[in-house]
A and B are shown apart, each in its own frame.
Chain A
């Protein structure tokens, strides 16, 4: 079992605020890893460090065996990113954007297939500025997967989606996982973690308070119970 992402004793401070204090978890190829935690627990900061957007103050971080801070283009080509705020240029149309992003890769995914799978064709004539939140969400997910990544970081991929769209996204995430990709998903949804994740990491106040498979983590209890007891105890 090889580790696609290794986060070990990561710390990060922003002025007086400590965002990460000894964050430690791993994610593996061919698995969906769900990172659950309250707002401000350090989910997005950790993911942004792993994407190379932020530099941790201390600790060890490896993505595909590489330190993501200032990693080269070939490394970035293997890592798919869906940002929480989308990161999509407003003035363009979805398919033009996806084809453009695909051009950064030697062997990108099939853009038409992605567009079909995520129902993007239905609004392909609309500029991104005018899309609904859920529509933007689907374009951002397609943007993360367009390079056929080996590791995909998806920050709240189904937030704001209707139930049908959510099922489609979950199916696509599972297929991506089954192709051998390590998929890391942050979420507030217990249902999403339960249905999708092979490995669940619960974080609170900048560190991990519990992790394992759903069965390991919950035993006889519900994920919700375990989550609240873990995030309250350490609060």
Chain B
């Protein structure tokens, strides 16, 4: 009963940057160790690219086929990582109390969010290197002056899709997140203007896809890599989706199941 309190050492938490980088490494490492995730993030997009390059259908529109295929597959890779992968992993982390435990650890909620964003960007960088490298080997000739525009579109698209992922993961049950995130991924892949450009879609559907984050991301990446230009309207569409998703997610996100 008379035990003196231990001397409280001021600042026993590791520095903020170290904590965030540790979590980024942990999340990235977890993803790269997971066979399914690796399949969705790298193997399937690479197979899709080879398949598109080797075949004549579906039509990707006028122009060199490989030049049209690579930006589409890059857009698909962004959607897989930033949306489907992030929604599912965050949904299950929430279900199993991982978000709560990390929230009360020195990392904290803010640190966890930053680390998740950095982990997504790390995986996307890896995807870009693999898919871009494979594309170059298959004869892709990008307009390098569009690199900055492409990176900007990719970053804003990532923001929009991570926001949408957190909107799902923070409100639905983990099984619901799993089902819906996969369903949306398939719908966007088939009808969202990702791989098949909107020019090859029926007019009505094409107008809808122009306003979807998937269509905007695909259009923006194609415009940057084929014409070397920043596509302003797709960028605005992505900014609107990013803003709406962020506001909604921050209001509705529940840290516990």
**With A1-B1, A30-B3 in contact, do A89 and B13 touch (Cβ < 8 Å)?**
no
Partner of A76, one of B22, B23, B104: B104
Complex contact A53–B14 (CB within 8 A): no
Does B38 sit at the interface, judged by CB under 8 A? no
**With A90-B92, A101-B105, A143-B101 in contact, do A74 and B1 touch (Cβ < 8 Å)?**
no
Complex contact B19–A51 (CB within 8 A): no
Complex contact B98–A89 (CB within 8 A): yes
Q: Which residue of B lies closest to A84 (CB)?
A: B97
> A89–B91 Cα gap in the complex (Å)?
12
Does A130 sit at the interface, judged by CB under 8 A? no
Complex contact A88–B2 (CB within 8 A): no
Does B10 sit at the interface, judged by CB under 8 A? yes
Chain-A contact segment, one of B26-34, B73-81, B163-171, B199-207? B26-34
How close is B104's CB to chain A, nearest CB, in angstroms?
5
How close is A138's CB to chain B, nearest CB, in angstroms?
15
Does B228 sit at the interface, judged by CB under 8 A? no
Q: Which residue of B lies closest to A93 (CB)?
A: B33
> A106–B9 Cα gap in the complex (Å)?
10
Complex contact B14–A89 (CB within 8 A): no
How close is B203's CB to chain A, nearest CB, in angstroms?
44
- A96-132 Cβ-contact flags toward B at 8 Å (1 or 0): 0000110111110000000000000000000000000
Complex contact A74–B12 (CB within 8 A): yes
How close is B178's CB to chain A, nearest CB, in angstroms?
13
**With A86-B96, A147-B12 in contact, do A73 and B108 touch (Cβ < 8 Å)?**
yes
**With A76-B13, A83-B101, A106-B14 in contact, do A100 and B1 touch (Cβ < 8 Å)?**
no
Complex contact A81–B104 (CB within 8 A): yes
> A105–B13 Cα gap in the complex (Å)?
4
Name the interface residues of B109-127: CB closer than 8 Å to any CB of A: 111
**With A87-B100, A180-B5 in contact, do A73 and B13 touch (Cβ < 8 Å)?**
yes
Complex contact A88–B10 (CB within 8 A): no
> A86–B30 Cα gap in the complex (Å)?
18
Complex contact A77–B93 (CB within 8 A): no
> A51–B105 Cα gap in the complex (Å)?
10
Complex contact B30–A89 (CB within 8 A): yes
**With A91-B34, A104-B105, A143-B101 in contact, do A180 and B22 touch (Cβ < 8 Å)?**
no
Complex contact B98–A73 (CB within 8 A): no
Partner of A180, one of B6, B18, B97: B6
Does B256 sit at the interface, judged by CB under 8 A? yes
Name the interface residues of B25-75: CB closer than 8 Å to any CB of A: 26, 30, 33-34
Q: What are some 14 contacts across the A-B interface (CB < 8 A)?
A: A4-B5, A31-B3, A73-B16, A73-B106, A76-B13, A87-B102, A88-B98, A90-B92, A100-B22, A104-B22, A104-B107, A148-B12, A150-B8, A180-B6
A contact set with B: CB distance below 8 Å:
1-2, 4, 28-31, 51-53, 64, 73-74, 76-79, 81, 83, 85-92, 100-101, 103-107, 143, 147-148, 150, 179-181, 198
Having A4-B5, A88-B96, A150-B6, one finds 12 other A-B pairs with CB under 8 Å, namely: A1-B2, A29-B5, A76-B105, A78-B8, A83-B97, A83-B100, A85-B97, A89-B98, A100-B22, A104-B13, A104-B14, A104-B19
In the A-B complex, the 7 residue pairs with the smallest Cβ-Cβ separation, listed nearest first, are A87-B101, A30-B3, A87-B97, A77-B13, A180-B6, A73-B13, A104-B106
